[in-house]
Structure 1
Amino acid sequence: MEISVELTFSPLQNQFEKPIQEFIKTLRSSGFEILENPLSTQVYGDYTQVMTFLTAAIEKSLGDVDNGLFYMKIVKSDRSDYVPNF
């Protein structure tokens, strides 16, 4: 099953940029299709593969900060080719 995942990582600390950058670098090296924008990052691929990868990546990122939040949305379909039609 193909999925689209939108992620936002918010370290709750003064030095928040480096943990976010490290998480994005991890996503970029994953081999999945990744789209980035200033507010979130999207990951596209097979459900089991993406979720297995994200479980480890999120655990590591949360372990690297004292406190942090992850916001995640999952859509059952690959929406990487979405183009507004209005």
Structure 2
Amino acid sequence: MKASIELTMSPLQDDYEQHIIKFIKTLRDSEFEVLENPLATQIYGDFTPMMNFLTKEMAKSMEETKAVLFYMKVVKTDRHDYEPFF
């Protein structure tokens, strides 16, 4: 089953930027399609492998930070090629 996931990572510490950059680079190096914008990062692919990957990488990020928030939206379908119709 294909899925689209939007992620926002918010480390709650002064050196937050380095943790966000490291996490995004990990996403970029994955087998999944990744699109970025200034507010969030979207990742697209097969749901179960993508969630397994994200679970592992989010756990690593949590171990490396004092406190971190992850905001996640999940949509059942691959929406990477969405274009407004209006």
Segments of 5+ residues of structure 2 without an aligned counterpart are none
Q: Indicate the SS of the match to 1:27.
A: helix
| Cα separation, 2, equivalents of 1:84 and 1:58 | 31
Deviation at 1:70, TM superposition (A): 0.1
Deviation at 1:57, TM superposition (A): 0.6
RMSD: 0.5
Report how many residues are paired.
86
| Cα separation, 2, equivalents of 1:82 and 1:63 | 35
Q: Indicate the SS of the match to 1:81.
A: coil
Q: Residue 82 of structure 2 corresponds to which residue in structure 1?
A: 82
TM superposition score normalised by structure 1:
0.98
Matched, 1:5 2:8: no
Once superposed, which parts of structure 1, at least 4 consecutive aligned residues long, lie more than 4 Å away? Answer: none
Q: Indicate the SS of the match to 2:30.
A: coil
Segments of 5+ residues of structure 1 without an aligned counterpart are none
Q: Residue 63 of structure 1 corresponds to which residue in structure 2?
A: 63
